[in-house]
Amino acid sequence: MKKLHAIDLFSGCGGLTTGLEEAGINVRYAVELDSKISMVYHVNHPQTVMVNSDIKDISDSEFKKMGKNIDIVAGCPPCQGFTRINSKNKIQQYSDERNLLILDYFRAIKIINPEFIMMENVPEITRFDKFHQVLSDLQELGYKIDYHIINVKYFGVAQSRKRLVLIGSKHYEINFPKKKSDNVKTVRDAIGDLKIRKLKDDQLQRIHSHHTERIQNIINMIPKNGGSRKDLPLKYWLECHKKKNVGFSDVYGRMRWDSPAPTITGGCLSPSKGRFLHPEKNRSITVREAALLQGFPDNYYFDAKLPKTLLAQMIGNAIPPEVAKFQGEYILSLLKNR
């Protein structure tokens, strides 16, 4: 069976590429706008040609040149504009410019004309009119498409995270499984043995959130292994948390050792944005712990000199490598079973 070659659009720091390469697929090109994030990608994937550019500025002729002998066009068009949708399943238009990048994803597919396409995104994208427009256009190009919403915890990721995954093919019927296994990895599986794995002295293990003395004292009192601010006497609650009908009850919560982590977001180093406190230690998870919970390898490079907000963003926005690996393996299985 021939080696498959892919292009990774909106590559970020390389979660999708990592998974495809682990599946045995060669990623020839990657496209990433942010120069600092593309640098992190390049250090980890030096064999891939990194195109540090806005996808809108890549001409059709450039895509045609990159697309020679490409079998898979894959990518995750930025989804921040979709996550604020509260339309109760109505298909609507949204003004956020990032939402329109899905049209450039389609443009690349139309020009390159690969056998396979892959896309990953937030579930809310199904309520966006341009998503359904692109689906219709892809079908007109001859693609057979399967998409559904999965939870990555059933694909070997120590995290509960719902995502839309889409696979299409010109010549193969696609029936992508909704689960790899019912067995789930836990926080303990991902970060419970860092001393044994010699990650204790990792520079990224020293990067986590820091707080005022008052907030740190509150964190110190939160019960270990799954406790939250709600377990504390009311006098220790922050004023903003005392108001009625205040959401985000998981803020200043600890992860549980023997459960998957909550969704690792771009705010994963800030306990004020979710259940991002370490199960035992009186701190948020670290950059390395966030990466491991997302499914990156132990030795994956992140530049410790970058702002921790950017580090959290690139990790939280990444496609979990294990999910991309399974998608890649699924595509390869189609070729084997033909």
CATH superfamily of the domain spanning 187-316: DNA Methylase, subunit A, domain 2 (3.90.120.10)
Residue 231: which residues within 8 A CB-CB, separation 6 or more? Answer: 222, 223
Q: How confident is the model at residue 199, as a pLDDT? A: 73
DSSP 8-state code for residue 284: B
What is the three-class DSSP state of 295?
Answer: coil
Residue 80's pLDDT is 57
DSSP string, 189-225: HHHTTTTTTT-TT-GGGG------HHHHHHHHHSPTT
Mean pLDDT of 105-123: 96
Record the tokens describing residue 286, joined without a space.
């670290």
CA pair distance 327, 109, nearest whole angstrom: 18
Asked whether the predicted pLDDT for residue 238 surpasses 50, the reply is: yes
Please give the angle made by the CA atoms of 330, 149 and 113, to the nearest 5 degrees: 50
Helix/strand/coil (H/E/C) assignment for every residue in 239-250: HHHCCCCCCCCC
pLDDT at residue 239, rounded to an integer:
61
CB 274 within 8 A of CB 248: yes
Average pLDDT over residues 7-12: 97
Both tokens assigned to 78: 């930025």
> Which amino acid makes up residue 238?
L
Lowest mean pLDDT among 10-19, 24-33, 57-66, 196-205: 196-205
pLDDT on residue 198: 75
Reading across the β-sheet that carries 72-75, which strands appear in turn? 49-51, 26-31, 5-9, 72-75, 116-121, 162-169, 144-151
What is the DSSP code string of 218-275? HHHHSPTTT--GGGS-GGGS-GGGSSTT---TTTT-B--TTS-B----TTTT-GGGSS
CA distances for 47 relative to 19, 26, 53, 84, 163, angstroms: 15, 9, 18, 37, 28
Q: What is the pLDDT of residue 254?
A: 95
CA distance 143 to 145: 6
Closest CA to 19 of 53, 49, 45: 45
Question: Among candidates 117, 125, 72, which has minimal Cα distance to 98?
Answer: 125
Return residue ranges of the chain for CATH 3.90.120.10. Answer: 187-316
**Better-predicted residue by pLDDT, 103 or 231:** 103
Q: Which part of the chain is CATH 3.40.50.150?
A: 5-183+319-336
* Continuous H helices in the chain: 15-23, 35-44, 60-66, 101-112, 129-140, 187-191, 213-221, 287-294, 308-316, 321-336
Task: Write down the pLDDT at residue 338.
Answer: 73
**Residue 81 has what pLDDT?**
56
Residue 86 pLDDT: 44
Nearest to 294 by CA among 47, 13, 46, 52: 13
pLDDT at residue 245 tops 60: no
Query: Is the Cβ–Cβ distance between 146 and 139 less than 8 Å?
Result: no
pLDDT of residue 85: 44
State what percent of residues in the chain have pLDDT above 70: 88
**Gap between the Cα atoms of 218 and 283, Å rounded:** 11
Residue, of 95 and 205, whose pLDDT is higher = 205
Tell me the per-residue pLDDT of 156-192, one tens digit each, with 9 for 90 and over.
999 999 999 999 999 999 999 999 999 999 999 999 9
Report residue 79's pLDDT band, with 50, 70 and 90 as the boundaries.
Answer: low
5-183+319-336: what fold?
Rossmann fold (3.40.50)
Burial pattern 90-118, b for ≥16 Cβ within 10 A else e, equals eeeebeeeebebbebbbbbbebbebbbbb
